Amino acid sequence: MSDEIKRGLQSPLRRKLLMGAAALPAMALLPRLAFGAGPPTAAVNTTGLAVTDTEVTVGILHSATGTMAISETGSIQAEKLAIEQINAMGGVLGRKIKIIQEDGASDWPTFAEKAKKLLVNDKVASIMGCWTSASRKAVLPVMEQYNGMLYYPTFYEGLEQSKNVIYTGQEATQQILAGIDWITKEKNAKSFYFIGSDYIWPRTSNKIARKHIENFLKLKVVGEEYFPLGHTQFNSVINKLKLTKPDVIFTDVVGGSNVAFYKQLKAAGIDLSKQTLLTISVTEDEIDGIGGENIAGAYACMKYFQSLKNENNEKFVAAFKKMWGDKTVIGDVTQAAYLGPWLWKATVEKAGSFDVDKVAAASPGIEFKGAPEGYVRIHENHHLWSKTRVGKAKLDGQFDMVFETADLIQPDPFPKGYQ
């Protein structure tokens, strides 16, 4: 990994980890509650999960190391915040949530191995985890084989539905198609150039995007390139951008590679206040490493931005910064990760059980009125009804929201004509 990437990754991550350690004494100030007043364990745990009269154990499985740590650290922090808040309110069915955290280390076989360990050895009642589609695809057969429940927070390509997963991020119709429609209308765009990381999510996302652009909008894709995770040399594709002059650069580069990509764009003289760029992968978390000065002017299609103005979000941002430090930032996936523990709590309490089959059956219709993004609800396909938003990156690393759908968008993981 280049010195440039190391600098981009180490600074924000070191701050986050140090701030997390500093927050531990503050956690001790939370009110001490007497757990164990819930229903009998035999009644709420018939499948041998790690549930006692006073505790229930869940897993957190994200990349705390490797190229994806720049993106996934925020998810870990958000899930821990939600669990801390839930415990302060009395836990779930009168039980305190205990966490076992594992590191997927930006390696997909490791994710599968750790998921099996959490389900088989630790017998966790649920797992909050994964970021990339590659890690989710590695974990999914493990979740289904051992009947676990995964709360997956990342925007993704869709084309998947499982009894054993609740998808708290957006699928393609809520992000990719909505974002392209907006940028096409707003910028009168006729041509697009795709740049992505080389794994399932960017490739499938761009396949869906190409079908939409060419078959439905009758416009052109003038280039499509992919680079390995952790890649740091983008000068060749930047030269192609200069030659082809697309109306829109459409990017789904992930993780630490974004640090090099946006710095090199700027160094090559590509001004994002003049050249339209739409990303579906860069949030405030990544900009913490990229630097606002290197991405200002770019557009991002997400469902959440830290700058979102509503009472839920103001409370969330304040609590997040109190726990993890004033300099921390909150991106779309971080917020979606925060939803996981809360939705699980609500579902368990509706089901009156920690048993995964009962939780899965009780999930449709579960709502969370306290979501920082605003009201959300679980659809029967295990995805969330959510709004779509577009933000414009600023020098300070935050986004100005420039578009928001009036209503929640119904999730449709298998859109007709895009498979």
Q: Identify the band that residue 32 occupies on the pLDDT scale cut at 50, 70 and 90.
A: low
Q: Sorting pLDDT into bands at 50, 70 and 90, what band is 333? A: very high
Say yes or no to pLDDT of 28 above 90: no
**CB 333 within 8 Å of CB 373:** no
Q: Which residue, chain included where needed, has tokens 């405030």?
A: 284
Is pLDDT larger for residue 410 or for residue 29?
410
pLDDT value, residue 22: 40
Cα separation, 53 vs 61, in Å, equals 25
- pLDDT in the model for residue 419: 82
What amino acid is encoded at 271 in this protein?
A: D
Handedness of CA 137, 142, 143, 145 (dihedral sign): positive
Mean pLDDT of 265-270: 97
| Residue-level pLDDT at 55 | 98
Residue 54 burial (CB < 10 Å; 0-12/13-18/19+)?
A: middle
- Mean pLDDT over 92-114 rounds to 98
Proportion of the chain above pLDDT 90, given as a percent: 91
The more confident residue out of 399 and 34 is: 399
206 phi and psi, to 5 degrees? -75, -30
Distances (CA, A) of 269 to 35, 45, 111, 290: 59, 60, 39, 16
| CA distances for 264 relative to 7, 27, 128, angstroms | 15, 41, 34
> Quick check: 178 pLDDT over 60?
yes
Q: What local confidence, expressed as pLDDT, does residue 8 receive?
A: 41
Three-state DSSP class for residue 248: strand
Residue 309 identity: K
pLDDT value at position 37?
85
Portion of the chain with pLDDT greater than 70, in percent: 92
Rounded CA gap, 24 and 18, in Å? Answer: 10
- Token couple for 154: 């990342």
The CA distance from 25 to 58, in Å, is 23
pLDDT tens track for 35-63: 988 999 999 999 999 999 999 999 999 99
Residue 1: pLDDT over 70: no
CA 106 to chain centroid: 15
Q: Express each pLDDT in 356-394 by its tens digit.
A: 999 999 999 999 999 999 999 999 999 999 999 999 999
Strand partners for 226: 196
* Pairing between β-strand 389-393 and β-strand 399-404 as defined by DSSP bridges: antiparallel
- Looking at the predicted structure, is the pLDDT value of residue 249 above 90? yes
Is the pLDDT assigned to residue 355 strictly greater than 80?
A: yes
Check whether 303 has a pLDDT greater than 60: yes
- Predicted TM-score (pTM) of the model is 0.91
Report helix, strand or coil for 156.
coil
Contact call for residues 347 and 359 (beta carbons, < 8 A): yes
Q: What pLDDT is stored for residue 283 in this prediction?
A: 96
Q: Which residues pair with 102 in a beta bridge?
A: 61
Spatial distance between the Cα atoms of 135 and 137, rounded to a whole number of angstroms: 5
- Cβ contact 302:44 at 8 Å: no
Residue 252 has pLDDT above 70, yes or no: yes
pLDDT of residue 217 exceeding 90: yes
> Helix 3-27 and helix 311-324: axis angle, to 10°?
100
CB atoms within 10 A of CB 30: 11
Q: Which pLDDT score is estimated for 7?
A: 40
Q: What pLDDT, on the 0 to 100 scale, is given for residue 39? A: 96
Query: What confidence tens digit (pLDDT) does each residue in 68-82 have?
Result: 999 999 999 999 999
